[in-house]
Chains A and B, each alone.
Chain A
Amino acid sequence: MEKLLKAKDEEYVRNLFEQNLVEPVELVLFLESPGASRVTEHNKQYLAYTEEILTEVSNLSDKINLTIYKDDKEKEKEYGVENISAFFIEGKNTNKNIVYYGIPSGHEFSSLLEDIIDVSKGETQLPDKLKEMVRKISTNVNILVFVTPTCPHCPQAVRTAHQFALENKLIRSSMIEAQEFPEWSNKYNVYAVPKVVINDKMQFEGAVPEDTFLNSVYEALGIKLLF
């Protein structure tokens, strides 16, 4: 395959990593062979590209390591993989809870870069007040963020969800590239992105400020916050 990143983009990302990465980061990618159970006629075309972009990104820093599991049912179970492709950004403060389903292309490429940096630093840029509120959550929260690569404000929603996950191991946040998973999108009636689904209960569309997003998380848990 031809390289996906242009030379000048590679240079930019390499510099970005050099200046910002602290601790090692592990990218864990799950793939299946053609004809395997979870890959559909529709989404198999994306797998090679996802593998390629993650390989290229991981080659841009010594601190990033890529592990690929192919048809590995046991590992899929350990990570709670629901669809293929899936990948996880793992570092010392994560809990297999920063998840991407499908390729992080287009605008989502910036989510990937920023997530890697956050995980490597082991901290987010959320305001302290918000961090505290996120850390207080003591039950499991599952956040799905449906996106398309051409959606300019989707990374905002993905990043907020992933930052919550990095602040609290009980929160698992997944980006879902809606076009790659039409059935999943249909299940949640996704016709506009970003669309956020929290614990299968609470849903909203559009990019919102972090405190508003957190309000919705609390609401899904049955708690009304007053900021």
Chain B
Amino acid sequence: MENFDLFSEDMSSNRKADLNEVFDLAILGAGPAGLTASIYAGRAGLKFILVERLSSGGQIVFSDQVDNYPGFPEGISGSQLMERFEKQASKFGTQIFSGEVREIKKSDNLFLIETSSGTIKSRSVIYAMGADPMKLPVPEEERFRGKGVSYCATCDAAFFKDKIVCVVGGGDTALYDALHLSRFAKNVIVLHRRDKLRAVKVLQDIVKKNPRIELLLEHIPLHIIGNKKVEGLEVENVKTRESKVINIDGIFVAIGIVPNTLPLKGIVELDEKGFIKTDLNMETSVQGLFAAGDVRATPLRQVVTAASDGAIAAFSAQKYLENLER
């Protein structure tokens, strides 16, 4: 009964913050970037608020094995790693305010942040709302979401015991998902559009040795087949354009991410893919608004880089506030 070694104490959020106050800094999103920014903001003595729509931790809580965050030579699960980030943040006075950020406005050096739990007033902002998984680009996605189409292998693998599942994607996340699923499913098919996987070599080597995992390269998904739930996937060979149906019970999607920038639409400059542009200080095109982590235009999106961004952003926000006061 492997589930029982874990009784996790996720950090509870609260709503005790007094929204009539004006904060020095509002940190939006409690993933690796936002939590790190709060450690720095707390230690700098800033009056700050950390806002999160879900439980904290960000995307990495979906990973049951993180092998590349320094300091954990044996690897650690994403949830456990984030529990440590949270404990450290709370040690320096962080409390999570639970609410979904919906709109951000700036007038006269004051930011007004509309959330599902009220309006926050702050003199500076670190925007660290990360990204959500990209949806499977087939017309039937919405109809079958939760009915065989899943975006969380750790959450849903158990529903596919002894079944056949397909993982769409060729990066690290896709291969971690495939490995996790191979502990439950009879067969895992990894579907990738290129002739080579994108994932790091160590992962590719492990996957290739796993007898339950099969690669289907140079194929893209076209249509989901099924009545009430997923029963098959029509795929197309990108070279020959030939299509065929593979019989599967589940589809796990890991084809990339979409940055959460909706509340900033039309306010800040984005790159062509929709990520927020910043300078080296993490400052965006709007003064006093900093961005950190996966939501930012950056060459590498990992926990370690998100944490690094968060630290720089908090430092920059502090400098910005000092200048405001002069």
Given contact pairs A110-B8, A189-B229, A193-B156, A152 touches B3 in the complex (Cβ within 8 A):
no
Identify the closest chain B residue to A117 (Cβ): B12
Contact pattern, A 158-185, Cβ under 8 Å of B = 1, otherwise 0: 0000000000000000000011000001
Complex contacts, B7 vs chain A, CB 8 Å: 4-5, 9, 53, 105-106, 109
List residues of chain B with CB within 8 A of the CB of A121: none
Asked if A189 and B4 make an inter-chain contact with CB atoms under 8 angstroms apart, the answer reads: no
For window 101-159 of chain B, which residues contact chain A by CB distance below 8 Å? 116-118, 145-150, 152, 154-159
Contact check, A191 vs B159: say whether CB atoms are below 8 A apart.
Answer: yes
Question: Taking the complex as formed, is A211 at the interface, i.e. its CB lies under 8 A from any CB of chain B?
Answer: yes
B155 and A152 within 8 A (CB): yes
Shortest distance in angstroms between B265's beta carbon and chain A's nearest beta carbon?
Answer: 19
How many angstroms between the C-alpha atoms of A89 and B229 in the bound complex?
Answer: 35
List the A side residues contacting B146 at CB < 8 Å. 191-192, 195, 205-206
| Residue in contact with A125 in the complex, picked from B4, B15, B154, B155, CB distance below 8 Å | B15
Residues of A within 8 Å of B278, CB to CB, are: none
Kindly list chain B residues whose C-beta atoms are within 8 Å of the C-beta of A155: 10, 55
Q: Is the CB of A193 within 8 A of B155?
A: yes
Complex interface: chain B residues within 8 A of A110 (CB): 8-10, 12, 55
A-B contact count (CB 8 A): 114
Partner of B10, one of A105, A107, A125: A107
Q: Are B79 and A152 in touch, CB under 8 angstroms?
A: yes
Q: Does B99 contact A (CB under 8 A)?
A: yes
Which of B57-65, B199-207, B216-224, B283-291 contacts its partner? B57-65
**Bound-complex Cα distance A196 to B8 (A):** 22
Please name the residue on chain B nearest to A109 by beta carbon.
B7
Query: Smallest Cβ distance from B65 to chain A, in angstroms?
Result: 13
Q: How far is the CA of A12 from the CA of B90 in the complex (A)?
A: 14
Let me know if A209 is at the binding interface, CB within 8 A.
yes
Which of chain A's residues has its CB closest to B6's CB?
A106
Residue of A nearest to B249 (CB): A191
Among A49, A109, A152, A153, max chain B CB count under 10 A is at: A152
Bound-state Cα–Cα, A149 to B230, Å? 24
Q: Which of B14, B64, B147 contacts A191 (CB 8 A)?
A: B147
Contact A148 B158 (CB under 8 A): yes
* Residue-wise interface mask of B (3-40) relative to A, using a CB-CB cutoff of 8 A (1 in contact, 0 not): 11011111010110000000000000000000000000
- Cα(A148)–Cα(B62), bound, Å: 13
Contact with B along A126-162 (1 / 0, CB 8 A): 0100000000000000000000111111111000000
B10 contact set on A, CB distance < 8 A? 107, 110, 152, 155
B6, B9, B147, most chain A CB atoms within 10 A: B9
CA distance A113 to B100 in the complex (A): 23
Given contacts A13-B9, A107-B10, A110-B8, contact A210 B116 (CB under 8 A): yes
Per the bound structure, the CA–CA distance linking A39 and B53 in Å amounts to 37
B159 and A209 contacting across the interface, CB-CB below 8 Å:
no
Nearest Cβ distance between residue B68 and chain A, in whole angstroms?
20
Chain A residues near B99: list those with CB within 8 A: 209
CB atoms of A148 and B229 under 8 A apart = no
- Whether B79 pairs with A107 at a CB distance below 8 angstroms is yes
Instruction: Give chain B residues whose Cβ lies under 8 Å from the Cβ of A179.
Output: 158
Contact partner of B9 among A4, A109, A151, CB < 8 A? A109
Q: Tell me if A66 is interfacial: C-beta within 8 Å of chain B.
A: no
Could you give 17 example pairs across A and B, Cβ below 8 Å?
Answer: A13-B9, A106-B8, A107-B79, A125-B98, A127-B117, A150-B155, A150-B157, A150-B158, A151-B154, A152-B10, A155-B10, A179-B158, A191-B146, A191-B230, A193-B156, A209-B53, A209-B116
Mark A residues whose CB is within 8 Å of B: 4-5, 9, 12-13, 45, 49, 53, 103, 105-107, 109-110, 113-114, 125, 127, 148-156, 178-179, 185, 189-193, 195, 205-207, 209-212
Residues on B lying within 8 angstroms of A by beta carbon are 1, 3-4, 6-10, 12, 14-15, 53-55, 57, 61-62, 64, 79, 98-100, 116-118, 145-150, 152, 154-160, 228-230, 250
Q: Given known contacts A110-B10, A150-B157, what 5 new A-B pairs fall within 8 Å (CB)? A: A148-B156, A152-B62, A155-B10, A191-B148, A192-B147
Q: Which 4 A-B pairs have the closest CB atoms?
A: A205-B146, A151-B155, A152-B61, A192-B146
